[in-house]
Amino acid sequence: MASPPATSTTTTPTGPATTTGTSTKATRLLGAAAIVGIVWLAAFGLGFSPADANQRESVRILYVHVPSAWLAYLAFFVTAVASGIYLFSKKHSLGWDRLAGASAEVGVLFMGITLVVGALWGRLTWGVFWEWDARLTSTAFMFVTYVGYLTVRRLGGTHQQRARRSAVLALLAVLEIPLVHWSVKLWRSLHQEATVLRPDGDVKMNGLMLFTLFVGVIAFTLMYMWLVIHRQRTMAAEDALDDAGLDLAIADRKAERA
């Protein structure tokens, strides 16, 4: 039996670096599908779908605004679930932490888009960029909360420390966001102003409009998946680089002492 060759005791990955980037055949396919979805959405949203009886052309904004909001909520839900799995599973595998982080980042992006586009829509339909209604206010709070989450991820320390801190924060967010939403809703119900018509409140969707919304959801879901996969792989690479850097530093120190 040949004895195994003497190898270094560090975990530095060795071998050639032949590929760059985080793309694979699957993600290229996904990306192509996402682009098709975007074009399809633009075509139907801006062109083929009809104007609404009440809102006329401004209803077209709904087809990007609502899907981005829904996908943002989905993204934060994924963050919460991944955080829970990281925290409560035995292995505490960092892959779950990175998924949580990547999904939260995309969620913040989509939520930011939701707020900006919502403001544009509000300007068009109500004449004001902002309104203190329950949903808008809660959404703004949610946005700030997850910006805070992303900031906490950058606090430094070991990867496990980062993972634990962010996981706890994500689960606390699941606790506090409904609470905030509920109190804001109660607060606004106090101010029974003359019914302010919410843009998506008075839209009666016919078949084609519903279909366009459906296209929007598909397009955004594809975008979400593509973005999260790439972001998560990049995070994995960054973590590996961190570890490799540490291993190299340790190896250097050992070499110095020898």
Partner 1 sequence: MTATLRIAWLVARKDLRVEWHSRVALNQILPFAAITMVLFAFAVDRLPAAPGDVDTVLVQLAPGLASLGTVFSLLLLVQRTFAVESEDGALDALRAAGVDATAVFWGKTLAMWIQLAILSALLLGTAVVIYGIEVRWSGVVLLVTTWLTATFGLAAVGTLYGGLAAGARGRETLLPLLLLPVVAPVLIGATRAVEAALGTGGTAIADGWPWVGVVAVFAVAFGAGGTLAFGPLIDE
Partner 2 sequence: MIAMEDAGFIIGSYIVTFGAVGAYAVWVLRRARRVTSRLPDDAKPWT
Q: Which residues bind partner 1 (CB under 8 A)?
A: 87, 141, 144-145, 147-148, 151-152, 155-157, 161, 164-165, 167-169, 171-172, 175-176, 179-180, 182-184, 186-187, 190
Is the CB of 26 or the CB of 190 nearer to partner 1? 190
Q: How far is the CB of 67 from partner 1 (least distance, A)?
A: 25
Name which of partner 1, partner 2, none residue 199 binds, using a CB cut-off of 5 to 8 Å depending on partner kind: none
Name which of partner 1, partner 2, none residue 244 binds, using a CB cut-off of 5 to 8 Å depending on partner kind: partner 2
Q: Measure the CA–CA gap between 258 and 247, rounded to whole angstroms.
A: 16
Residue 248 binds partner 2 (CB under 8 A): no
Q: Measure the CA–CA gap between 236 and 214, rounded to whole angstroms.
A: 33
Check residue 60 and report its DSSP letter.
G
Residue 215 binds partner 2 (CB under 8 A): no
Name which of partner 2, partner 1, none residue 258 binds, using a CB cut-off of 5 to 8 Å depending on partner kind: none
Contact 105, 150 (CB under 8 A): yes
Long-range contacts of 249-253 (CB under 8 A, 24+ apart): 250/10, 251/8, 251/10, 251/12
Q: Measure the CA–CA gap between 195 and 192, rounded to whole angstroms.
A: 8
The SS3 call for residue 158 is coil
Q: How far is the CB of 253 from partner 2 (least distance, A)?
A: 21
Tell me the two tokens of residue 25: 């055949």
Residue 93 binds partner 2 (CB under 8 A): no
Q: How far is the CB of 172 from partner 1 (least distance, A)?
A: 6
Is the CB of 28 or the CB of 182 nearer to partner 2? 28
Cβ neighbours for 23, distance < 8 A, ≥ 6 positions apart: 31, 230
Please identify which residue in 10, 54, 58, 221 interacts with partner 2, judged by CB under 8 A.
Answer: 58
Please identify which residue in 3, 7, 9, 18 interacts with partner 2, judged by CB under 8 A.
Answer: 18
Q: Which stretch binds partner 2 (CB under 8 A): 19-27, 157-165, 185-193, 248-256?
A: 19-27
Q: Phi and psi of 154, rounded to 5°?
A: -95, 10
Tell me the two tokens of residue 53: 């009886």
Q: How far is the CB of 188 from partner 1 (least distance, A)?
A: 10
